[in-house]
């Protein structure tokens, strides 16, 4: 589990294709890793492999390539890095699993008035919209952020606006992103749990009427 508080940024060193699989190499000086450790890379939970001084490798599953922006990484790209939160440690951000739901589209990242803050606007896909609430939490590129404004159904789609403080702007990959670029989005898992608990439970009679087949048993882990 992560909290969305980025520890450092890394730089993509290489992207390699091997027999249909993709492996990335990331330079991360000062980050202590062991083979098999979990690490969030721009919000995506990956497994650190082939550790070298200041560098690690990670394999991208087909699901990761299909659902996240990591498939678009190229050497020189900046990524956000976070190690898992130790048990019992304070939760400074919010509960982030590293399980990206989908990518959103960066609409703008502009200075907020005359202050030092920035205003981030992202169009999010419909599958995430029902989990977005004003003043709620959302993870963008692995960063725990607060929804400052929620505008569903605009000409640009369902748009979330977020206030970015100078520290977050300077110490994450946000300042390297370009308008139109896809960004990894993970909705608040607590809202997902609430939605699931609110769903009507199947009645006992419907369960009894369900046909018991070998296929059903296999699909349900028997």
Active site residue 3: no
Rounded Cα distance, 104 and 122, in Å: 6
Rounded Cα distance, 122 and 161, in Å: 7
Catalytic-role residue among 2, 22, 25, 78: 2
Catalytic-role residue among 38, 71, 129, 161: 38
Active site residue 168: no
For strands 102-111 and 44-47, give the pairing. Answer: unpaired
Catalytic-role residue among 21, 35, 61, 108: 61
Active site residue 146: yes
Report the half-sphere exposure of 15 (CA within 13 A, side-chain side). Answer: 13
Euclidean distance between the first and the last CA atom of the chain, given in angstroms as a whole number: 28
Catalytic-role residue among 62, 146, 170, 175: 146
Query: Hey, what are 14's tokens?
Result: 């290489």
Active site residue 99: yes
Active site residue 38: yes
CB 178 within 8 A of CB 106: yes
Q: How far is CA 106 from CA 22, 109, 177, 206, in A?
A: 25, 8, 8, 45
Active site residue 62: no
Active site residue 45: yes
Catalytic-role residue among 28, 45, 58, 187: 45
Enumerate the active-site residues.
2, 38, 45, 47, 61, 99, 146
């Amino acid at each position: 589990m992560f909290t969305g508080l980025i520890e450092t940024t890394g730089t993509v060193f290489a992207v390699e294709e091997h027999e249909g699989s993709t492996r990335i190499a990331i330079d991360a000086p000062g980050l202590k890793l062991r083979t098999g450790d979990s690490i969030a890379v721009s919000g995506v939970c990956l497994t650190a492999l082939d550790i070298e001084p200041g560098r690690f490798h990670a394999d991208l599953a087909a699901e990761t390539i299909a659902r996240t922006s990591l498939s678009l990484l190229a050497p020189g790209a900046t990524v956000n890095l976070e190690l898992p939160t130790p048990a019992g440690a304070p939760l400074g951000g919010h509960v982030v699993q590293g399980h990206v739901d989908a990518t959103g589209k960066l609409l703008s990242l502009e200075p907020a008035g005359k202050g030092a803050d920035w205003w981030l606007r992202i169009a999010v896909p419909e599958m995430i919209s029902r989990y977005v609430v004003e003043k709620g939490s959302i993870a963008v590129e692995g960063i725990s952020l607060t929804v400052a404004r929620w505008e569903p159904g605009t000409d640009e789609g369902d748009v979330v606006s977020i206030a970015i403080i100078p520290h977050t702007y300077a110490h994450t990959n946000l300042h390297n992103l370009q308008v139109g670029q896809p960004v990894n989005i993970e909705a608040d898992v607590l809202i997902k749990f609430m939605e699931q608990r609110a769903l009507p439970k199947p009645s006992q009679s419907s369960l009894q009427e369900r046909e018991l087949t070998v296929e059903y048993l296999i699909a349900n882990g028997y």
